[in-house]
Amino acid sequence: MEIKAIRGFNDILPDETGKWQFVENTAREVFEGFGFSEIRIPIVERTELFSRGIGEATDIVEKEMYTFTDKSGNSLTLRPEATASMVRAYLEHQMYSFDPAAKLYFIGPMFRYERPQKGRYRQFHQIDAEVFGVGNPMVDAELILMLIHFLKKVGLEQLELQINSLGCRDCRPRYREELKKFLTKISFRLCEDCQRRINTNPLRIFDCKVKTCQEAIADAPKVIDYLCEDCRRHFGKVKEYLGIAGLLFTLNPRMVRGLDYYTRTAFEVVSYQLGSQNAVTGGGRYDNLFQEIGSVDIPGIGFAIGMERLISLMPEGKEFIRYPQLFIAALGEGTFKEAYRWINQLHLQGIRAELDYEGKSLKSQMRRADKLKARYVLILGEEELKRGRAVLRNMNTKSQEEILIDNILEIIKNKIVLD
């Protein structure tokens, strides 16, 4: 029986990995330029970390986690997101003792048991960036600037930055109560899920996709009108620093983010490319998360980008596949050994060169060079070799020239570099 990949777990094949590498390399370059360092966290953690960190009344913890019992009877979970693990690592290794401010980023796969659909997998990939230990609104704007800069560098255009403030543990409970009061009054107009959410997680009603729910909550109270003095000042500063950073933004009072732990600044980036509106990524401040995980008061802010989504939004046209720069078509035993020596030299110098391994005819070697989309083909026959010459063919222009074998590697390298 043929063994296939598990549903929701997919292979990323060589003709796609160029795009992935480009996105990952761009993230590393941009983030490190902003003073961030990479952290690598384990794939498996104690289940408790996520139930405490993400919150029991969330879809992730309620239904989407890959949880299992190991041979010692511990309940373990494949990480469904990165922030909780990064917080755990920061506390466990007392990274704050060196410097309270830690700027960290992470790239890797996450696991959620969701219904697989086009572009949505159970093993998916995220790019995460987090700043721990700084509550200053300056860092909120700095992180957002870094995010927008990264998205533009990978080719996204027509982006809109939306921001909101979700308040803190002093002012949000009051808002929650007001929202609950409002929702209870109109509960008959809400879907079943939303009716349940009134008591478990009322803010999540804003994320409901049901049209009648959206209509019913059109006049719901806005969190921004319930902010305490500190939160209002913080949000004012975030807007001021975004202005200094040269970023335009729109206020979206209905953006509440799915997770319980967000406080104060919340943001999302929306793309209007291709004529439709797509949420690209989002994030926010979570000054209570450290309380939940480590009973300490440390502020944090971060964002997560779904890589599958990001890659699907990248413009077409940019070439990511790396084709051979040179194909050597050697004919005859003696020439083959010479070609083998050259190709090793080229590889050692980082030039992508291919050789025919089968000793086939010139015609079939040229066919292969064409299929592999090689830029140049070096044709080497026994007769030419004796005369100290070879033929170099440019596969784009179809022009070819005879070149001398002394210095052949230099000649080829110059051609390829100039191309």
Question: Stretches 135-143, 162-170, 284-292, 305-313: which one binds Zn ion (CB under 5 A)?
Answer: 162-170
Smallest distance, Zn ion to C-beta of residue 213, A: 3
Q: Which is nearer to Zn ion, 230 or 240 (CB)?
A: 230
Smallest distance, Zn ion to C-beta of residue 220, A: 12
Question: Stretches 81-89, 122-130, 227-235, 269-277: which one binds Zn ion (CB under 5 A)?
Answer: 227-235
Q: How far apart are CA 312 and CA 271, in angstroms?
A: 12
Q: Which is nearer to Zn ion, 101 or 210 (CB)?
A: 210
Regarding 409 and contact with Zn ion (CB under 5 A), the answer is no
Q: Which of 168, 343, 374, 379 binds Zn ion (CB under 5 A)?
A: 168
Q: What stretches of 350-396 show up as alpha helix (H) in DSSP?
A: 362-371, 382-386
Q: How far apart are CA 413 and CA 419, in angstroms?
A: 10
Q: How far apart are CA 181 and CA 191, in angstroms?
A: 17
Burial of 25 (0-12, 13-18, 19+ CB in 10 A): exposed
Regarding 208 and contact with Zn ion (CB under 5 A), the answer is yes
Q: Which of 147, 213, 310, 355 binds Zn ion (CB under 5 A)?
A: 213
Q: Which of 137, 167, 283, 299 binds Zn ion (CB under 5 A)?
A: 167
Q: Which of 49, 141, 148, 231 binds Zn ion (CB under 5 A)?
A: 231
Smallest distance, Zn ion to C-beta of residue 219, A: 16
Q: CA separation (Å) from 140 to 4, 146, 301?
A: 44, 10, 7
Smallest distance, Zn ion to C-beta of residue 154, A: 34
Regarding 224 and contact with Zn ion (CB under 5 A), the answer is no
Query: For tokens 């990939």, what's the residue?
Result: 125
Regarding 80 and contact with Zn ion (CB under 5 A), the answer is no
Residues between 249 and 308 that touch Zn ion (CB under 5 A): none
Regarding 203 and contact with Zn ion (CB under 5 A), the answer is no
Regarding 228 and contact with Zn ion (CB under 5 A), the answer is yes
The HSE-up count of residue 28 (CA atoms within 13 Å, CB side) is 10
Q: How far apart are CA 352 and CA 365, in angstroms?
A: 17
Three-state DSSP state, 159: strand
Q: Which is nearer to Zn ion, 178 or 308 (CB)?
A: 178
**Residues touching Zn ion, count (CB under 5 A):** 11
User: Which two three-digit tokens encode residue 312?
Assistant: 């699907």
Regarding 220 and contact with Zn ion (CB under 5 A), the answer is no
* Amino acid (1-letter code) at residue 255: M
Angle at 243 between CA 241 and CA 246, to 5 degrees: 115
Q: How far apart are CA 370 and CA 353, in angstroms?
A: 13
Regarding 166 and contact with Zn ion (CB under 5 A), the answer is no
Q: Are 353 and 344 in contact (CB under 8 A)?
A: no
Q: What residues are paired with 301 via a beta bridge?
A: 131, 285
Q: Which of 41, 76, 186, 191 binds Zn ion (CB under 5 A)?
A: 191
Q: Are 85 and 103 in contact (CB under 8 A)?
A: no
Q: Which is nearer to Zn ion, 44 or 191 (CB)?
A: 191
Kindly list the residues in this chain that would bind Zn ion in the complex (CB under 5 A): 167-168, 170-171, 191, 194, 208, 210, 213, 228, 231
